[in-house]
Structure 1
Amino acid sequence: MATEKFLLTSEYEKVDDLIFSVKEFLAKEKVESHILSGVDICLTEALNNIIKHAYNGEQNHPIEVIVSKDSNILEMLLIDEGKSRDNFIIKELDYDPNDIENLPESGMGLYLIKQLMDDLNYYSINGKNYFTLRKILY
């Protein structure tokens, strides 16, 4: 199993660089480009959510991303020390994708992550929040 750890601080400007590094690591591990696109979307949403909600937009707080890939599973574990979520319910969104003027204003990020990944898990323990995203590779 190939594993790499990535660290960043809670600054929106640093998210793209981290995602680029993760995708570079996964490309070396022969992960297909369409999955890398999904990784990009999921990490963008998840990391921005951590910065916005767990850290209330405050900078300089740690976020750790541990990426593991074996022959048929890609796993990304995001760890932060911010405010934990009260619940981890991903609501189904009822919207018309052709009516972009009236897209839902909240919940869209987690909904997208759920659509792109095969398994999600979130829990908090000892002041840290753990969000795991898994994708089955065929």
Structure 2
Amino acid sequence: MEKVNTVFRLPTSLENLETLSSAIRQFIAQLELDPAVVYQLELATCEAFSNIVRHGVNHDPEQSVGVTLSYADGGVEIVLSDSGKPIPQAILRALAGRDKSLPEPDPHRQASWPESGIGLKLIFAMMDDVSYRSQEGRNELILIKHV
């Protein structure tokens, strides 16, 4: 299959999670992927969007997130771009290196679950490759899943 690309913008409101989810499902439907892969792509992307809304732009409805969905050479790439606060470098280093400096929650003790930060761990766990860059006031989170 040749490269397939969809680009759109969403206002930074959690109310747009369903719109994002629907767009992902519609884009991926043509690829006939394993339902588990579809779930991982949708979950990671919605978590990333939610993080941008909550932490990057602090629910500012005047902001928006650019979304690019691409498929080529056996991989799905999803790029989310925004102009909010960047993800702190210390957190990115810890996640990229699978560093143990971020606490591991005990699945049987809810008190050990962090109030925030687990979403990024989830995104890194669901995707085959995650990269991030922040320059000139724009942030880009690139999620790749090999299929």
What's the CA shift for 1:101?
Answer: 4.4
Q: Distance in 2 between matches of 1:82 and 1:3?
A: 25
2:41, 2:145 within 8 Å by CA — same for their partners in 1?
Answer: no
Q: Distance in 1 between matches of 2:22 and 2:109?
A: 31
8 Å CA contact 2:76–2:144 kept in 1: the answer is yes
Q: Deviations over 1:58-103 (max 9, x none)?
A: 1131101101112411110101011222312325442221223432
Distance 2:107 2:76 in 1: 29
| Structure 2 match to 1:20 | 22
**How many Å separate the matches in 1 of 2:132 and 2:51?**
13
Corresponding residue SS for 2:10: strand
- Where does the alignment leave 5 or more consecutive residues of structure 1 unmatched? none
Say yes or no: does 1:94 pair with 2:104: yes
8 Å contact 2:70–2:78 — kept in the other structure? yes
Q: CA deviation at 1:130?
A: 0.6
Secondary structure class of the residue paired with 1:45: helix
Residue 108 in structure 1 maps to residue 123 in structure 2 = no
Asked if the contact 2:9–2:65 (Cα under 8 Å) also holds between the matched residues in 1, the reply is yes
After TM superposition, list the pairs within 5 Å mapping 1:36-115 onto structure 2: 36-87=38-89, 88-89=92-93, 90=95, 92=100, 93-115=103-125
Deviation at 1:136, TM superposition (A): 1.0
Aligned equivalents of 1:105 and 1:113: distance in 2? 16
Q: Which amino acid aligns with 2:140?
A: Y
**How many aligned positions are there?**
137
Q: Which amino acid aligns with 2:5?
A: T
Gaps of 5+ in 2: none
How far did 1:115 drift? 0.7
CA distance in 1, matches of 2:33, 2:66: 21
Question: CA–CA distance in 1 between the matches of 2:11 and 2:62?
Answer: 5
| Identity among equivalent pairs (%) | 28
Q: Calculate the TM-score normalised by the size of structure 2.
A: 0.85
Question: Is the CA contact (8 Å cut-off) linking 2:20 and 2:46 kept in structure 1?
Answer: no
Per mean C-alpha deviation after superposition, the further-off stretch among 95-104 and 12-21 is 95-104
* Alignment RMSD: 1.5
The answer (yes or no) to whether the contact 1:11–1:60 under 8 Å persists in 2 is no
Q: Distance in 2 between matches of 1:15 and 1:85?
A: 20
